[in-house]
A = this chain, B = another copy of it.
């Protein structure tokens, strides 16, 4: 008799009538049938649960979870300059990055995410943690013009990014990404070096673009062009570029984005909380641009909860555009799952045979799923993270019945408490 690594029995799959069995082998969904007559090394009973693809969180700084919510109620530039950068100057180290990543990964798994795109320092620490825990990540060193603990100048950042690309280019779960921070923190020359490195290794570029009105003004002043036009003029934009935020773009820039097949990571909560504005997502989607969703770091969000991000995305754009059809639940779910995996070239984000087994099982015996009329709409509009019962990444069960299986949650919190003491005492010395 055939044997699956994981066999899920009697599960609801949105869009399909009745209940289904899902067989998982070698990290892939290998069979979906009404009744699979086979054994599973691990068997999960569906029992009123619904299967969804897991989330791809397409923009975050996961180690900043240790700085959760600090500097609340400040706009982006004040928040960066008065709170975040001084804290990072004091604390960022391999150990900080590692412990912060662990805390962020615990939260990511508990909220249904199996892939995140990260930009920060000491990314090899994050890579190691991801491999230990069994979660996917696209990781890149932030590349800047100004010095930080990891490099003194752009050349040194690029060197560091190259070494990381070399070290992590053939891993199973983790892959390197090239991350010039933003057009306002990287000169055209730095951006060109980053692009060359990405092309050399065939990697994605991940960058913050057009996040605030102030950024647009600054770039216009410096280069006589808006950020997207500026990036285009130096040959930076192509289908391997993922731009986070993209709040402030005009019609012509959107056409450039569409034509160059640039991908967008929409971060609605961070944009709202930092008062950056509201991105024209329904318009991007209508133009056929690949839009994904990201949480941004927990310092500006203040969590890594993609379910909340979906819910806000779905409601915000209706209300802001005063059009109840501006974006629907099914589209938003696609943005948060399929589009992310597609952007990084992983065949996941759909529950179909032959796709990677990145999925979550959601408990419908919760108030938000009762009565159960439309699983996708209720997942997007109504549900809370408590409903996320089981999380599977590349066929491996990372959480079952909300119990983490590959990481010691209590130990992670214990470490977070130690950092808390140090950070609070530094903050009180600042003020």
Contacts and interface: CB of A to CB of B under 8 A. Distances in A.
Nearest to A422: B371
Given A68-B371, A69-B373, 7 more contacts: A73-B329, A269-B315, A275-B324, A278-B319, A308-B308, A316-B316, A384-B384
A377 interface: yes
Interface in A65-96: 65-66, 68-70, 72-75, 78-79
A92 B176 CA distance: 58
Interface stretch (A4-12, A136-144, A216-224, A295-303): A295-303
Contact of A377 (B69, B365, B381): B69
Interface of A: 65-66, 68-70, 72-75, 78-79, 103, 106-107, 110-111, 213, 269, 271-278, 298, 301-305, 308, 311-312, 314-316, 318-326, 328-329, 365, 367-368, 370-374, 377-378, 381-386, 410, 412-413, 416-417, 419-420, 423-424
Chain A contact surface mostly: helix
A301 B78 CA distance: 34
A318 B69 contact: no
A318 B384 contact: no
A313 to B, nearest CB: 11
B371 A417 contact: yes
A305 B372 CA distance: 17
Given A308-B311, A371-B66, A373-B420, A319 B272 contact: yes
Contacts of A69: 373-374, 377-378, 381-382
A75 B328 CA distance: 12
Given A319-B272, A328-B73, A417-B371, A385 B382 contact: no
A79 B325 CA distance: 12
A70 to B, nearest CB: 6
A367 B315 contact: no
B324 A273 contact: yes
Contacts of A381: 69, 72, 273, 301-303
A424 B372 CA distance: 10
A300 to B, nearest CB: 10
Contacts of A325: 73-74
A186 to B, nearest CB: 25
B74 A367 contact: no
Contact of A272 (B65, B318, B382, B384): B318
